[in-house]
């Protein structure tokens, strides 16, 4: 006989989690597709009554995205332009129906190589907060995602929030997703970039992340370092040409060949950097589409 | 684990006792009887179950029951408030509804948008509706309907009114219905949620049926102790296997080739083949995983691609050859050897899934000693006969009652759930219900044949085609299905609608352990046309002539003989289609040249392709029968057995009957397809219903009119109407009245009744494929304009312009709907659709076009009447898909300089082709 629980406090939730194996139910957008038409044979911990996990708030540790925050709530939140990439990704997650239910945190826990949320959160230096009985720890997002459908969650642990450190929210950002159709599409490749420039128009900080081109979305630190000191209007193509992009290890699958992904990633990286840098010359409220 | 959940539905408080993890969709459908929201995928991939939760659109299949407690849910049933909402009205008026399975999801998504954004832009409409898949309409009329309600501009190019071309004369005078576009007669329930599809009317006491399927492409199997399994599972009433089948465990749409078991006999030949069914109470079945059944599998070597020299799929079919189709005329080899210009090429296409939004569903019950199967289908009489044979019953003890059918496109011609639920009902005496999951629908039902083709075309120096050779290997999967039809149809059509005096074409249907290939809009002709039309572009380029002009030069004309030696005296409309496109072609080429100037990374390309397609069975009998009766109360009852799967036969056949009778459309009462109530109008397939059943309706209506006029002893010039129980006849100034209650009733309770059958005059094909396989052909041509992102290989469609010769547009809006929907499927086939068993068995890995993938479509209805068709009408349903993919491939080549020869032309493949060609 399977168990179902819908605790109303985090304390109760982690206490239950300590008691055995549970599958977490939040937005349902991964839970139900994984279940398919098979009977339910796992214990279900429904975290939808945990009010403390809702919403986007400003804290002294930066921006906190509660684990129950949906993509639609991200889109409607009042956030700095550094979050534009995340908002653009939000618009490209599945469909509006999915965005209305699916949570950002669930996207991370599902840990698909094609998770739309991971590259834009990687460029924001996101950390995840993991709670268990008597313990809370924080991990950088890059350490949390361990592989295809693998995370650092240990038994008894619940992802409760995503934190964006204040310093990582500077600058302008952009996101590009490449797919074989317009909506409801799993990406062939995607890129998020955040560029911080000084008053003279020089890049002082850059963050670039690529998804769907390796088991886990990756930051391109070599490229980021080379961007620092360059003018905002640099043509990034030459820089990218010189990069080996060893961080990427794309595979051949039905959506595209490994060669194609490697080549498309270069194009998307250049366009995304240009998009983020170009956002400096656009009004802050203008959010472009995240579709390649 | 169940508990009460209280919430509000459409303004009313409800409380249900369910599992807190139950999907909201099943709560609505199974507990509350609100079947408007459809179950299309149970994974958030199709949006057919979209409802509003506190005003926001959600997929009801992804929402736990516990999450709606205390909240407000709105469903399609709540949209009309005594009268249809403006949005529902607009959907009907714009022809935005075809089968109707996606309609509730679209209406709810659009409602959420319009409540938040009353005057949306087109891109806002697309964003809001992007989560709902539609397989019938091509989306443009949906966009137009929503924009109309929002007060915005219609989202599609206004249609050009039908063009009339000379030649031939209409055989009947048009009345008030034919040639107009009344709102489809079955439309209203499709927008209110009242329509009942295959899974929408299961009796509450019906047993649920779970199908156990092969997880392997090829395997033998042995069952464990099934009696113990049943005993161990309270609520399970039985497990049935091939051993329980009382009749002949072999079925197939073409009797001579019937080879498919309803339940496999010790050996499964493809992944997803049914091996057993478990029947039981609903809750008991819901708790069972089909993998729980004790089955010992032994996997065998397999090949999902056809191998003529490989292991045999059937021991009695050497070379894995199901059938070879062949047409030969003149001296093709000589013509090619002597050709001034010769082009050759090869082309590979993929398995394509029909992806109708409604997976197969139905229920069976015993009515006395008659087995009644209520099911979505395209072919009620074929269902009846094959199911009866499997179950060992005479055909008249099986009755098929088609429900509304949520798309078919060819796959619902074959049996799916029918024998399985029929077997359970027969064995248990209880109703038995089954709705396929999306995965089992995709795994177990038919696909478009993958084709490996090569061809050579030769012309003289002026560009007149002198010869062609075509060879195609079609992967027909493990069972025959419609493989013979594909193999026979392709050689007839592979030259396109062009005069080809020297010709040889061979199509071979070869078995494999891939999915079963069957009928899919065009029966192989779309694949063959991709081969031929891309070669025509190559020929034009080699000759240095305009691509449209080359086609026009070679177009079949009245008086030409086809490759099968059939002389077409009248009604050949391909040249008119190409001529109608000519100004659009010149404009598109000029646009491309202009926008390409100074743009190194984005290139506009323009492509064109034609089609022709014979309507009805190939060189085989193909009758339809229509009955029309007049009841003593004055009702004119049309027994309309041509199943409407969204294409509009309920409306079109009635329009033909009404005008022929000389009565308004509203005077007719429709009796829908039902093997107990309607004579056999054949299958909804082969673009035959408007032509063949329409002609039967014309003949029946004519006969009925004759009877009535004779009874009143008036001339053929008289007009009549029914005023309650009185027949009112007017001839000149004279008016006569005849009381219907004075007339004797026939055995069906009618005072007048006529039944007529029409079978198109065709001949068989001889050893060289010579003969007249079809009585009527339809023609068309399309232009694709698109842009290719040269760095990424992404194609963005700009516009499709489609000219189709329909002979006579009985209902222009429905004809446009067919064209737009066929184009959407052609777009999918060209750019994104590839079914890979075991890999793309869902609607997020198998991609069909979304609302953002279909560009504006301009339709030109060309009317070159055919003397054989009713009011001159020709078939259209399949023609419309055929030119799209080759036109797109030709446009990609125009943009990039490369032809992609393996479909679909994904961004990855386009870039690979560009790199290989060093473009």
CB contact under 8 A, B64 and A46: yes
Q: What is the predicted pLDDT for the residue at B714? A: 93
Q: What is the predicted pLDDT for the residue at A292? A: 66
Q: What is the predicted pLDDT for the residue at A221? A: 96
Q: What is the predicted pLDDT for the residue at B1? A: 77
Are residues B602 and B789 in contact, defined by beta-carbon separation less than 8 angstroms? yes
Nearest CA in chain B to A23: B21
ipTM of the complex as predicted: 0.97
Q: Taking 50 as the threshold, does the pLDDT of residue B402 lie above it?
A: yes
Mean local confidence (pLDDT), B418-424: 98
CB contact under 8 A, A257 and B57: no
CB contact under 8 A, B62 and A27: yes
Q: Taking 80 as the threshold, does the pLDDT of residue B162 lie above it?
A: no
- Give me the numbers of helices (H) and strands (E) for chain B, helices first please: 21, 34
Count CB neighbours of B669 within 10 A: 13
Q: What is the predicted pLDDT for the residue at A241? A: 87
A8 touches chain B (CB under 8 A): no
Read off the tokens for B148: 């109309």
Q: What is the predicted pLDDT for the residue at B168? A: 29
Give residues 268 to 287 of A whose Cβ lies within 8 Å of B.
Answer: 268
Q: What is the predicted pLDDT for the residue at B173? A: 36
Nearest CA in chain A to B68: A48
Nearest CA in chain A to B113: A96
Q: What is the largest CA-CA distance in chain B?
A: 84
Residue B349, min C-alpha distance to chain A (Å): 14
Q: What is the predicted pLDDT for the residue at B751? A: 97
User: pLDDT for B756-804, tens place per residue?
Assistant: 999 999 999 999 999 999 999 999 999 999 999 999 999 999 999 999 9
- Counting residues of chain B whose pLDDT is more than 90, the rounded percentage is 96
Three-state DSSP state, B210: strand
Nearest by CB to B437, from A37, A41, A48: name it: A37
Mean local confidence (pLDDT), B157-172: 33
Residue A87, min C-alpha distance to chain B (Å): 15
Please name the residue that has the structure tokens 């002389």: B567
Mean local confidence (pLDDT), B689-711: 97
A292 touches chain B (CB under 8 A): yes
Q: What is the predicted pLDDT for the residue at B81? A: 87
CB contact under 8 A, A183 and B131: yes
At residue B234 the predicted structure's pLDDT band, cuts being 50, 70 and 90, is very high
Q: What is the predicted pLDDT for the residue at A287? A: 55
Nearest by CB to A97, from B23, B47, B907: name it: B47
Are residues B64 and B22 in contact, defined by beta-carbon separation less than 8 angstroms? yes
Q: What is the largest CA-CA distance in chain A?
A: 66
B916 touches chain A (CB under 8 A): no
Q: What is the predicted pLDDT for the residue at B153? A: 55
Q: Could you tell me the pTM of the whole model? A: 0.97
Are residues A216 and A145 in contact, defined by beta-carbon separation less than 8 angstroms? yes
Are residues B346 and B538 in contact, defined by beta-carbon separation less than 8 angstroms? no
Give residues 172 to 201 of A whose Cβ lies within 8 Å of B.
Answer: 178, 180-186, 188
Q: How far is CA B840 from CA A36, A254, B642, B834, B848, in A?
A: 14, 9, 33, 8, 12
Cβ partners under 8 Å of residue A282, min gap 6: none
- Cα–Cα dist A214/A210, whole Å: 8
Give residues 89 to 118 of B whose Cβ lies within 8 Å of A.
Answer: 109, 112
Report DSSP state, residue B745. P
Residue B67, min C-alpha distance to chain A (Å): 7
User: pLDDT for B102-156, tens place per residue?
Assistant: 999 999 999 999 999 999 999 999 999 999 999 999 999 999 999 999 886 544 3
Report DSSP state, residue B315. T
Return the bridge partners of B57, or none. B52
User: pLDDT for B818-836, tens place per residue?
Assistant: 999 999 999 999 999 999 9
User: pLDDT for B442-473, tens place per residue?
Assistant: 999 999 999 999 999 999 999 999 999 999 99
Nearest CA in chain B to A95: B131
At residue B844 the predicted structure's pLDDT band, cuts being 50, 70 and 90, is very high
Cβ partners under 8 Å of residue B902, min gap 6: B347, B348, B909
Q: What is the predicted pLDDT for the residue at B176? A: 85
Q: What size, in residues, is chain B?
A: 919
Three-point CA angle B544, B550, B555, nearest 5°? 170
Could you tell me if residue B596 is left (phi over 0), alpha (psi between -120 and 50 degrees) or otherwise beta? alpha
Nearest CA in chain B to A36: B42
- Cα–Cα dist A87/A269, whole Å: 18
User: pLDDT for B652-663, tens place per residue?
Assistant: 999 999 999 999
At residue B175 the predicted structure's pLDDT band, cuts being 50, 70 and 90, is low
Mean pLDDT of chain B: 96
* Full strand arrangement of the beta sheet holding B636-639: B668-671, B636-639, B624-630, B752-758
At residue A61 the predicted structure's pLDDT band, cuts being 50, 70 and 90, is confident
Read off the tokens for A231: 């003018």
CB contact under 8 A, B50 and A72: no
Q: What is the predicted pLDDT for the residue at B160? A: 33
- Which of B413, B436, B447, B443 is closest to B268 using CA atoms? B443
CB contact under 8 A, A100 and B58: yes
Are residues B358 and B441 in contact, defined by beta-carbon separation less than 8 angstroms? no
Q: What is the predicted pLDDT for the residue at B186? A: 96
Nearest by CB to B907, from A46, A96, A188: name it: A188
Burial (CB count <10 Å: 0-12, 13-18, 19+), residue A236: buried
Are residues B422 and B371 in contact, defined by beta-carbon separation less than 8 angstroms? yes
Q: What is the predicted pLDDT for the residue at B441? A: 98
Mean local confidence (pLDDT), B54-64: 98
Nearest CA in chain A to B838: A254
Checking DSSP bridges between strand B160-164 and strand B72-74, what pairing results, if any?
unpaired
Nearest CA in chain A to B105: A97
- Which of B347, B300, B302 is closest to B320 using CA atoms? B302
Per DSSP (E only), the strands in B582-686 are: 602-614, 624-630, 636-639, 668-671
Q: What is the predicted pLDDT for the residue at A285? A: 54
Nearest by CB to A181, from B21, B440, B832: name it: B832
Burial (CB count <10 Å: 0-12, 13-18, 19+), residue A240: buried
Mean local confidence (pLDDT), B265-271: 98
CB contact under 8 A, A39 and B792: no
| Chain A contact set for B852 (CB, 8 A) | 181-183
B840 touches chain A (CB under 8 A): yes
Mean local confidence (pLDDT), B170-180: 63
Residue A266, min C-alpha distance to chain B (Å): 10
- Which of A191, A189, A182 is closest to B127 using CA atoms? A182
């Amino acid at each position: 006989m399977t168990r179902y629980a819908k605790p109303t406090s985090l304390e109760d939730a982690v206490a239950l989690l300590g008691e055995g194996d549970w599958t977490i139910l939040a937005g349902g957008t991964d839970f139900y597709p994984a279940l398919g038409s098979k009977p339910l044979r796992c214990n279900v911990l429904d975290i939808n009554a945990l009010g403390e996990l809702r919403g986007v708030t400003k804290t002294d540790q930066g921006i906190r995205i509660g684990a129950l925050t949906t993509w639609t709530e991200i889109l409607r939140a009042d956030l700095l332009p550094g979050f534009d990439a995340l908002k653009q990704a939000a618009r490209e997650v599945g469909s509006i129906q999915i965005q209305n239910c699916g949570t950002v945190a669930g996207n991370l826990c599902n840990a698909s190589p094609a998770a739309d949320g991971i590259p834009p959160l990687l460029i924001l230096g996101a950390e995840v907060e993991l709670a268990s009985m008597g313990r809370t720890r924080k991990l950088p997002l890059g350490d949390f995602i361990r592989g295809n459908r693998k995370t650092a969650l240990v038994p008894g642990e619940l992802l409760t929030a995503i934190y964006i450190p204040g310093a990582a929210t500077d600058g302008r950002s952009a996101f590009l997703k490449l797919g074989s159709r317009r909506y409801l599409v799993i990406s062939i490749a995607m890129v998020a970039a955040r560029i911080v420039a000084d008053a003279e128009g020089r890049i002082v900080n850059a963050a670039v992340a690529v998804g769907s081109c390796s088991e886990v979305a990756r930051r391109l630190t070599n490229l980021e370092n080379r961007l620092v000191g360059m003018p905002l209007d640099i043509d990034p193509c030459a820089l990218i040409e010189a990069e080996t992009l060893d961080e990427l290890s794309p595979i051949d699958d039905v959506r595209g060949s490994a060669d194609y992904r490697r080549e498309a990633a270069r194009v998307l990286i250049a366009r995304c950097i240009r998009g983020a840098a170009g956002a400096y010359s656009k009004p802050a409220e203008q959010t472009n589409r995240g579709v390649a | 684990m169940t508990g009460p959940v209280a919430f509000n539905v459409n303004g009313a408080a409800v409380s249900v006792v369910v599992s807190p993890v139950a999907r909201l969709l099943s709560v609505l459908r199974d507990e509350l009887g609100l079947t408007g929201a459809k179950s299309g995928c149970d994974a958030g991939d199709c949006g057919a179950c979209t409802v509003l939760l506190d005003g926001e659109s959600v997929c009801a299949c992804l929402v736990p029951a516990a999450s709606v407690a205390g909240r407000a849910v709105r469903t399609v049933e709540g949209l009309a408030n005594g009268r249809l909402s403006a949005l529902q009205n607009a959907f009907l008026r714009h022809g935005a509804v075809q089968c109707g399975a996606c309609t509730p999801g679209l209406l709810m998504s659009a409602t959420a948008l319009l409540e938040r954004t009353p005057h949306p832009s087109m891109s806002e409409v697309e964003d809001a509706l992007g989560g709902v898949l539609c397989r019938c309409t091509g989306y443009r009329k949906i966009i137009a309907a929503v924009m109309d309600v929002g007060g915005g501009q219609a989202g599609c190019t206004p249609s050009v009114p039908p063009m009339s071309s000379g030649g031939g004369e209409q055989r009947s005078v048009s009345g008030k219905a034919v040639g107009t576009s009344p709102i489809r007669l079955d439309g209203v329930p499709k927008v209110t949620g009242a329509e009942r599809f295959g899974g929408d009317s299961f009796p509450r006491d019906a047993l649920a049926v779970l199908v156990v399927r092969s997880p392997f492409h090829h395997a033998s199997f042995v069952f464990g102790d099934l009696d113990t399994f049943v005993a161990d599972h309270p609520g399970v009433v039985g497990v049935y296997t091939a051993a329980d089948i009382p009749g002949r465990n072999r079925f197939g749409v073409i009797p001579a080739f019937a080879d498919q078991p309803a339940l496999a006999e010790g050996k499964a030949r493809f992944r997803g083949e049914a091996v057993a069914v478990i029947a039981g109470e609903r809750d008991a079945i819901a708790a069972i995983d089909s993998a729980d059944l004790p089955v010992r599998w032994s996997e065998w070597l397999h090949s999902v691609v056809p191998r003529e020299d490989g292991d045999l799929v059937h021991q009695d079919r050497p070379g894995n050859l199901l059938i070879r189709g062949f047409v030969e005329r003149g001296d093709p080899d000589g013509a090619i050897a002597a050709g001034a210009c010769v082009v050759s090429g090869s082309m590979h296409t993929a398995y394509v899934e029909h992806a109708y939004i409604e997976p197969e569903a139905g229920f069976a019950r015993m009515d006395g000693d008659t087995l009644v199967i209520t099911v979505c289908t395209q072919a009620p009489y074929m269902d009846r006969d094959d199911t009866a044979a499997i179950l060992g019953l005479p055909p008249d003890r099986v009755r098929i009652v088609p429900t509304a059918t949520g798309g078919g496109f060819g796959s619902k011609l074959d049996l799916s759930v029918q024998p399985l639920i029929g077997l359970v009902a027969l064995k248990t005496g209880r109703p038995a219900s089954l709705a396929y999951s999306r995965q089992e629908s995709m795994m177990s039902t038919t696909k478009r044949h993958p084709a490996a083709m090569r061809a050579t075309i030769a012309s003289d120096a002026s560009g007149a085609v002198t010869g062609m050779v075509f060879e195609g290997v079609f992967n027909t999967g493990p069972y025959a299905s419609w493989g013979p039809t594909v193999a026979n149809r392709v050689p007839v059509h592979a030259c396109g609608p062009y005069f080809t005096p020297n010709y040889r074409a061979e199509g071979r249907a070869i078995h494999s352990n891939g999915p079963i290939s069957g009928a899919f809009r065009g029966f192989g002709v779309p694949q063959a046309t991709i081969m031929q039309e891309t070669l025509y572009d190559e020929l034009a380029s080699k000759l240095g002539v305009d691509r449209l002009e080359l086609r026009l030069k070679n177009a079949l004309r009245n008086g030409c003989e086809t490759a099968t030696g059939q002389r077409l005296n009248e009604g050949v409309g391909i040249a008119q289609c190409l001529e109608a496109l000519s100004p659009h072609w010149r404009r598109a080429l000029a646009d491309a040249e202009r926008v390409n100037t100074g743009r190194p990374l984005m290139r506009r390309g323009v492509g064109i392709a034609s089609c022709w397609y014979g309507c009805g069975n190939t060189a085989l009998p193909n009758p339809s029968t229509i009955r029309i009766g007049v009841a003593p109360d004055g009702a004119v009852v049309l027994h309309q057995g041509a199943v409407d799967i969204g294409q509009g036969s309920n409306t079109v056949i009635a329009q033909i009957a009404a005008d022929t009778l000389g009565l308004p459309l509203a005077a007719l009462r429709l009796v829908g397809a039902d093997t107990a109530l309607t004579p056999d109008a054949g299958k909804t397939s082969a673009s035959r219903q408007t032509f063949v059943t329409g002609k039967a309706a014309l003949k029946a209506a004519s006969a009925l009119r004759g009877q009535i006029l004779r009874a009143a002893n008036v001339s053929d010039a008289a007009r009549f109407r029914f005023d309650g129980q009185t027949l009112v006849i007017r001839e000149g100034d004279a008016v006569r009245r005849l009381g219907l209650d004075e007339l004797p009733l026939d055995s069906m309770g009618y005072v007048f009744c006529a039944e007529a059958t029409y079978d198109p005059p065709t001949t068989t094909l001889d050893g060289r494929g010579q003969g007249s396989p079809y009585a009527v052909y339809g023609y068309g041509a399309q232009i694709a304009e698109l842009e290719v992102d040269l760095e990424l290989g992404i194609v963005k469609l700009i516009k499709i312009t489609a000219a189709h010769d329909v002979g006579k547009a009985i209902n222009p809006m429905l004809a446009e709907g067919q064209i737009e929907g066929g184009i959407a499927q052609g777009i999918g086939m060209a750019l994104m659709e590839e079914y890979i068993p075991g890999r793309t068995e869902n609607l997020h890995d198998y991609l069909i076009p979304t609302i953002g993938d279909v560009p504006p479509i301009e339709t030109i209805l060309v009317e070159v009447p055919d003397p054989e068709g009713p009011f001159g009408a020709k078939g259209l349903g399949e023609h419309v898909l055929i030119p799209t993919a080759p036109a797109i491939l030709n446009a990609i080549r125009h943009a990039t300089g490369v032809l992609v020869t393996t479909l679909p032309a994904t961004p990855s493949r386009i870039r690979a082709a560009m790199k290989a060609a060093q473009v």
